[in-house]
Amino acid sequence: MVLRAIAVLSICLWHTVLALPSIVRGDVTGRARRLVVALGPAFVKGAQLLSTRRDVLPAGWCEALAELHDRVPPMPVRVARKVLRSAYGGEPPFTVDWDSVRSGSIACVYRAEHDGGAVALKVRRPRVRERIEQDFAVMRAGAAVMQRLPRLRGLPAVAVLRQIGDAVAAQADFGAEAGALAELRESLADVGYLHIPRPLPGLCAEGVLVMEFVDGLTPLDAGDVPAARRSELARRVLHCAYRMLFLDGLVHCDMHPGNLYLGRDGRIVLLDAGFVVRLEPRVRRLFAEFFMHMARGDGPHCAEILRESAEGVADWADVAAFRRGTIALIEQSSGRNARDFSLVRFATRLFDLQRVNGLFAAPEFIFPLLALLVLEGRINALDEELDFQAESIPVLTKAVMSGLLKIGPREQA
């Protein structure tokens, strides 16, 4: 871990020196993107999240970092060939189009031919899981030091980073991703406007995921997509995310532009299921309750849910002040459309309320929040008039009616 920390620092210093001419010219986005790539997959994941947040970063930065969704420099063909030969114990049963590569932080995806049909071949980068685990170990060490500071004492930063790190590293488990793809296809089979590629388990091998190939994809927010159609797509994407979260307890944390497209048949295509996390029933219930009461503008119930779900409450905690601040925040945030509501700003203010008043959020909440942070950026690009919160009510109501979300004392009050 110490060697990796030194390597990260050296990479940052080297790229800072190389960036001096760009800094003089006032154009550092390209150098920043190259720095992220040099640092490795854990940092690329963070940059992918930031690229969706035009309310946080300038448009030029977002566009530069957006290339990291599927245009990370690919591994050399000779390395990919070696991975395939190792996985299949010799020459693989595919004819691979090496020029068709789409490249992410974990793997490269190629179009290949098998028995006369096209398949998508996802090939894992060598030692990628080891790199991710090392980087998150460095981050946790830094967080452990920060948690000793008086104003941050009790903040569960190490626990949050551990959970995120484990989930990001799990993206290298292609067997788990094949299972997640199959589960999502089954649970969302009745959603006619969504297509998820079918995994082909009989062709998969260690470090290689083989899927149905989907051709003719275009970005959801392509310039030739009419505004009314974009608004419809925004609602449909959001509905699918809420279905996964509130009905199935599945959190898809990677619904960014590199994984969401529009197919030739007009359906939304969700390509990837590597970063899918299953919520514990209690966490799903509490998060769903909070979201429902937030959409209704019910600050007192939101405050009570946050108090109940807190990881810990400090001896010096001012619960009354936290309750007053939460109620005011919910009143200010409820009913706003995508243009006027920023989940980043909302979450920042909420976490600050918790920190200042001695309540610490449960680490498990980070996954649904992370998923919605990524998704909000996608929704804003499609329809900034959409009421992000109100769109959840039909799905939450269905969860209540089906018994998946129990009506507790708070709802009966």
**Domain segments of the chain: what residues?**
2-66, 73-126+173-213, 129-169, 217-413
Burial 173-186 (b: 16+ CB within 10 A, else e): bbeebbebbebbbe
Question: What are the Cα distances from residue 117, in Å, to 113, 121, 154?
Answer: 5, 12, 56
- pLDDT tens track for 327-381: 999 998 887 777 778 787 888 888 888 878 888 777 778 888 888 888 887 888 8
- Kindly state the DSSP code that residue 205 receives in the 8-state scheme: B
- Kindly state the DSSP code that residue 209 receives in the 8-state scheme: E
Residue 405 confidence class, pLDDT cut points 50, 70, 90 = low
Helix extents (H) in 334-382: 343-357, 366-382
Residue 410 confidence class, pLDDT cut points 50, 70, 90 = very low
94 phi/psi in degrees, rounded to 5: -135, 155
Residue 411 confidence class, pLDDT cut points 50, 70, 90 = very low
Amino acid at site 348: T
Question: For 376-398, what is the mean pLDDT?
Answer: 86
Question: For 282-287, what is the mean pLDDT?
Answer: 86
CA dist., res. 384 & res. 388, Å (int):
9
* The pLDDT value given to residue 383: 87
Check whether domain 73-126+173-213 has CATH 3.30.1490, yes or no: no
Q: Please state, for a pLDDT cut of 70, what percent of the chain lies above it.
A: 84
CA dist., res. 48 & res. 257, Å (int):
9
CA 297 to chain centre: 26
Q: Is the pLDDT of residue 210 over 60?
A: yes
* The pLDDT value given to residue 352: 83
CA dist., res. 197 & res. 67, Å (int):
23
Q: Is the pLDDT of residue 106 over 70?
A: yes
Q: Is the pLDDT of residue 413 over 50?
A: no
First-to-last C-alpha distance (Å) of the chain: 52
* The pLDDT value given to residue 55: 52
Burial 364-385 (b: 16+ CB within 10 A, else e): bbbbbbbbbbbbbbbbbbbbee
Contact 74, 14 (CB under 8 A): no
CA dist., res. 315 & res. 338, Å (int):
38
* The pLDDT value given to residue 20: 56
